[in-house]
Amino acid sequence: MLEHEANANSTHSKTTGLPRKRFYRARAHSNPLSDSHFPVPISPSQVDYSVHYPQLFPSPDKFDGSKRIEFADVGCGFGGLLISLSTMFPETLMIGMELRDKVTEYVKERVVALRSSNPGQYENVSVVRTNSMKYIPNYFEKEQLTKMFFLFPDPHFKEKNHRRRVINLHLLDEYAYVLREGGIIYTITDVEELGVWIKSCLEGHPLFEAVTKEELEADAVVKLLSSATEEGQKVARNGGQTFQAVYRRIAPCVSNCEKH
């Protein structure tokens, strides 16, 4: 009986070794404009890759800058997308950015457990607790990223709170800065009004253009947007709709021209 109670109260599954979500639950969203206390690198050169990818960079002095993070999952939640991407792109470094401390801790424990039970895998994935609306330039150099993900972000329904939305014209300037030309922003939401907002912001920005339908159908990553995360799976179970916007970072226009 005591052993059963101990197993029931364990933060990790006895069979899989993975952390149990119920011990890491937090509010669905946090206020991105509030001040939280966590360390932030002064500049991208100060990001310690040995903390995030210890097998690849055993110590800080082993990092020579030749291999950098290329994928960023902003508001990564419980890390479902990252875990799927990790094996799909085993040579690509990727990181989740999450504001909620308990959720960040869950993803850390999940990655540690997966690395332990799958030697040689998941060494390219990590997570950091941070506020991506404030500190994106602290983590990534100009044109460093090839993919950014914004899956089921907080809709901030009240008009006075729209400035808290993680996709807006001001923040798109920052995302365009850290994305290299040809890089992709992937977004999905189950809130139609937010979907319209996101698409309008991306359409209105001179450094992004919509990815074609043919390219979307050929992109295996697009299929993960609605299936890899807890939120996406919940929407699917409830028969809900989702609204995607996938856009490419393009070169700046150097003469008088219009975006087509």
Query: Tens of pLDDT along the chain (260 residues)?
Result: 544 444 555 676 655 666 665 555 554 445 544 556 788 999 999 999 999 999 999 888 777 788 999 999 999 999 999 999 999 999 999 999 999 999 999 999 999 999 999 999 999 999 999 999 999 999 999 999 999 999 999 998 787 888 889 999 999 999 999 999 999 999 999 999 999 999 999 999 999 999 999 999 999 999 999 998 888 899 989 999 999 999 999 999 766 566 54
CA-CA-CA-CA torsion sign (156, 157, 163, 168) = positive
98 annotated as a binding-site residue: yes
Contacts for 196 with CB less than 8 Å, ≥ 6 apart: 243
Q: Is 154 a catalytic residue?
A: yes
CA 226 – CA 223 distance, rounded (Å): 7
Q: Are 211 and 174 within 8 A, CB to CB?
A: no
Spot the catalytic one: 35, 48, 64, 154: 154
Contacts for 13 with CB less than 8 Å, ≥ 6 apart: 19, 20
238 annotated as a binding-site residue: no
242 annotated as a binding-site residue: no
- Report the candidate in 189, 229, 232 with the shortest Cα–Cα distance to residue 82: 229
99 annotated as a binding-site residue: yes
Contacts for 141 with CB less than 8 Å, ≥ 6 apart: 44, 68, 178
141 annotated as a binding-site residue: no
Q: Which helix (H) or strand (E) holds 181?
A: strand 179-189
CA 97 – CA 136 distance, rounded (Å): 9
